């Protein structure tokens, strides 16, 4: 056992810090106009998501309660399946614009920009639910 930081705080930091960086990169993505910066933010987003899974979500539940961790994984999987079903419906509701409207392109970009900001904000809410 480390005398400076407990294993639980260390594990939670390996979960929380990458997910905060991921949420911020999603929020910054629509405001970049450079292709290289956008690709870098997407790569950073994916690396932080993988780090969050490897450093915390998959292992923390088993370490805290090995007997009930399969049930927790089932609950997480259920949330993931529900989000995977609902996300395309919500995304199309937020970002769809009739092409016949005047200023279609600007409105389309504005809606996608706010969709990414919304995704980043919801990610930060998720991180706060882990911390609090």
Query: 58 or 36, which is more confident?
Result: 36
Please compute the mean of the pLDDT values over residues 78-104 and round it to a whole number. 85
- Per-residue pLDDT of 92-103, as tens digits, reads 888 888 888 788
CA–CA separation, 118 and 132 (whole Å): 21
Of 61, 90, 89, 63, nearest to 75 by C-alpha is 61
CA–CA separation, 123 and 17 (whole Å): 12
CA–CA separation, 8 and 10 (whole Å): 5
Structure tokens given for 46: 């994916």
Please compute the mean of the pLDDT values over residues 18-28 and round it to a whole number. 87
CA–CA separation, 67 and 45 (whole Å): 32
CB of 49 closer than 8 Å to CB of 22? yes
CA–CA separation, 96 and 18 (whole Å): 31
**pTM for this model (two decimals):** 0.67
Question: Please, which pLDDT band fits residue 56 given cuts at 50, 70 and 90?
Answer: low
- Per-residue pLDDT of 27-37, as tens digits, reads 898 888 899 99
């Amino acid at each position: 056992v480390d005398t400076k930081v407990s294993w639980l705080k260390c594990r939670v930091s390996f979960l929380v810090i990458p997910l905060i960086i991921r949420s911020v990169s999603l929020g910054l993505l629509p405001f970049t106009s450079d292709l290289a910066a956008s690709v870098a933010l997407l790569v950073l987003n994916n690396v932080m998501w993988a780090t969050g899974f490897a450093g915390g979500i998959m292992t923390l539940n088993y370490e805290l309660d090995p007997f009930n961790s399969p049930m927790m994984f089932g609950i997480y999987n259920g949330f993931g399946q529900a989000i995977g079903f609902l996300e395309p419906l919500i995304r199309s509701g937020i970002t769809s614009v009739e092409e016949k409207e005047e200023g279609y392109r600007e409105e389309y970009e504005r809606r996608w920009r706010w969709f990414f900001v919304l995704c980043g904000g919801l990610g930060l809410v998720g991180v706060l639910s882990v911390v609090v």
